[in-house]
Structure 1
Amino acid sequence: MKPVIVIHGGAWEIPDDQIEENIAGVGEAVRLGWRALEKGGSALDAVVAAVNSMEDNPIFDAGIGSVLTLDGTVEMDALIMDGERLEAGAVAGLRDVRYPIRLARLVMEETPHVLMIGEGASRMADRFKVERITQEELVTEFARKDLKDWMKEHNVKGNSGHDTVGAVALDANGNLAAATSTGGVTGKLVGRVGDVPIIGSGGYADNRVGAVSTTGHGESILKVNLAKLVLTYMDTGMEIQEAAEKALGYMSVRVKGTGGLVALDREGNIAHAFTTSRMVWASMKNGKLESGINP
């Protein structure tokens, strides 16, 4: 099986002056994921490498650069899923972990649980020596300005952009994996958890069908279980791109939600689709890098 990886850096109204940085960021991340695959690494290794890179890049809403809660703090969520065994790990409400996706993988591989939250997840980070980080180090000037601008509208039910990163990969053994990480949405209430750490919403992987990582309005994605919906359509025989577009269309009509996703089927066919104005994405297949941001 020929390895493939496709990633996204979020579906939202990406400003013109951030296009170059976004495309460069996903380009760097997808290369790191591809390098893991080239060295014989697993699909899990690849998606973690790619997402790690974006968690470290302040242009993206994950890890350093995460958007702020209404209280001006960072709370992060992440998910990873192994398509071979249908094993998954997720974390929510992290306030001081540098790489949430690494901790999500440890939840999957080192505990009998699927989802860990808050203080318990932080204790687990200490146990496995996952790198910690302060709130001051996580918060960027962009995030502060974004919250300040948001608060002028003072609408807790409003939607914000700067959303979510994710990756899906197929390795040489034919195994699929999905990973998604986020700081959430600007101005969210403390304790809010969106779609990202919820299996079937923020992501899903099943060797029998495919793998998906989503991005967009979290509450809408949760309501339609977007990642699993794509695979459900694919399971009926629908082509991957059609399934991606149909699932997003259903979410738009049924709950008036916008978003995007990247997906792979078990043969390594790629899909990327979005209903927002832009979504930055990148893929590598047969050693060739492709990327985009506009419809």
Structure 2
Amino acid sequence: MTDTDTPTDRTDDEQRRIVRERYADIATDSGGCCDPEPDDSDGCCDGTDGTAGDADATARELGYADDEVDAVAGDANLGLGCGNPQAIADLDPGEAVLDLGSGAGFDCFLAADAVGPEGRVVGVDMTPDMVEKARENAGANDAANVEFRLGEIEHLPVPDASVDVVISNCVVNLSPDKPQVFREAFRALRPGGRLAIADVVQTAPFPPDVTRDPDSLSACVAGAATVDALERMLAEAGFEAVDIAPKDDSERFIREWADDYDPSDYLVSAIIEARKPE
């Protein structure tokens, strides 16, 4: 067994189904995962210090600035994620951006503002209800330079060498084939393009009951890989200048992701950066 294996008999298709069903439920719930009385919503945004039920407060806790939270109209902010990829992407006007697991579009709309009308943003999500919600939010945000496509992040519906930056927020851990995700990101990037994502990394072995629990998987816990494993995957995909920086202060929100155990005993949020060679 490697440091990315889990002791389950779950197939890749079953894992994708579990994740898709959870996020379809979030997309079709008007309160999102931050509804004041969520239905089995542990692991997405319970918040701390009185922020439960407040997606804006959750976003601020994850590292979004007030002006970023206020800039996006509609219900694009579902309070999901484990960091702020915008803070590390360093986007320039005119760039093309690809968001892996774009959800209701929050990060896409922030990226669209950063790259301006001469740039473009493509969001990819495998959940039809999320794509539909994101497209509705595009209208609310007058985001003519944003497009949302239905697809799996292991099989991105974009041409080779078509984007400058790949971003993602706490989604790669949900994939049953992370090496393929990074190979696809590498393929989509232009030479010299960069990867800038926020995700969770495993810091200690999960107990068997956590790895076997479908809710732990879809709540961004059981699918996390170690830093060493992620570094190896990125290097094997062809990336250089790989840098994975854990954020110790993420314990304060990760511990709220489950009721019957403390996920921060096994996880930490991290900033993951890499570059495609020129």
Q: Provide TM-score, normalisation by structure 1.
A: 0.31
Q: Which has the higher contact order (CA 8 A, sep 6+)?
A: 1
